[in-house]
A and B are shown apart, each in its own frame.
Chain A
Amino acid sequence: MSEPLIFHFDVDGENFTSAGQASTQVKKNLRQLGLSPDIIRRVSIAMYEGEINMVIHANGGTADVIVTEDYIEIILADKGPGIPNVEQAMQEGFSTATDSIRSLGFGAGMGLPNMKRYTDTMEIDTMVGVGTTITMYVYL
């Protein structure tokens, strides 16, 4: 595999129950590429958390996954409200999700921490009122 493989997804912000479609598809694609179960698990969990965040907070967005020989890059971009205090948002247990989201089992305040936990690097580029782009790398 010399040319990077690029997978692009539009994440539907309206449909909470179908959230996870992009990460499930990525999991399938990575499996077909023969990557190790641990790498696949890390990438798909980080991406799922990002997808859920985009559905809960940002009315959807886009997800791009770039697979090279050396790393997997995941770029999640939305035009949502932005994150006013990234440091606070990165704390385990901090959440601004509503009760209805919590009743579905989300809103534990673990989304961003899990994304960081399962990737090698994570960068958050956010501006209130403009949107958020999160770039994560998992090295192979």
Chain B
Amino acid sequence: MIALLVKELLSHGFEAVSLPDGEREIDGVYIGDLLSWVMGRAQMDNAWITIMTNVNVIAVASLADTSCVILAEGVEMPEDIVQTALEKEVNILRSSKPIYETALQLAELIS
């Protein structure tokens, strides 16, 4: 299996919101908006799909060590939080698609 890198998503319709470490490999996907649930269940190197955009998302992504956050449904992240993501070296991408379609697309790219 060839590893999918975070930066490679840019050529598949995903938009970079914060991309300090595009070389990271994506290993699996986790979906969720309840932050503690995500911290308990997401695996290291997962791409994490969510619609949450508050600053705690950055802390959770950093501590749970996900490869990237993917904001589905085209949700906007406030600029100061994007700055925090860059400082904490958290990759964030955006998809205009709903969560389910975003996940389907990732499943196709990973397999």
Task: Give residues in A with beta carbon < 8 Å to B.
Answer: 17, 19-20, 23-24, 27, 37-38, 40-41, 44-45, 48-49, 52, 104-111, 113-114, 117
Report chain B residues within 8 Å CB of A111: 36
Task: Judge whether B63 and A44 touch: CB under 8 Å.
Answer: yes
* Residue B16 is within 8 A (CB to CB) of chain A in the complex: no
Residues of B with C-beta under 8 A to A117: 40
A108 & B59 in contact (Cβ 8 Å cutoff): no
Cβ-defined contact, B56 with A104, below 8 A: yes
Residue contact B63 to A23, C-beta cutoff 8 Å: yes
Q: Which of B44, B56, B88 sits near A105, CB closer than 8 Å?
A: B56
B33 at the interface (CB under 8 A from A): yes
Q: Tell me the smallest distance from the CB of B2 to a CB of chain A, in Å.
A: 22
Q: Are B35 and A108 in contact (CB under 8 A)?
A: yes
Contact B35 A106, beta carbon cutoff 8 Å? yes
* Chain A hits for B64, CB < 8 A: 41, 45
With both beta carbons as reference points, the residue of chain B lying nearest to A113 in the complex is identified as B40
Number of residues on chain B facing chain A (CB within 8 A): 20
Query: Shortest CB–CB separation between residue A130 and chain B, in angstroms?
Result: 25
Interface members, chain B 26-71 (any A CB < 8 Å): 33-37, 39-40, 44, 52, 54-57, 59-60, 62-65
A23 to B61, CA, bound (A): 13
- Considering the complex, give the chain A residue whose CB is closest to the CB of B55: A17
Chain A residue at minimum C-beta to C-beta distance from B52 = A105
Determine if A108 and B34 form an interchain contact, defined as CB atoms under 8 angstroms apart.
yes
User: Do A48 and B34 have beta carbons less than 8 Å apart?
Assistant: no
Given that A105-B35, A106-B35 are known contacts, is A20 also in contact with B40, CB under 8 Å in the complex? no
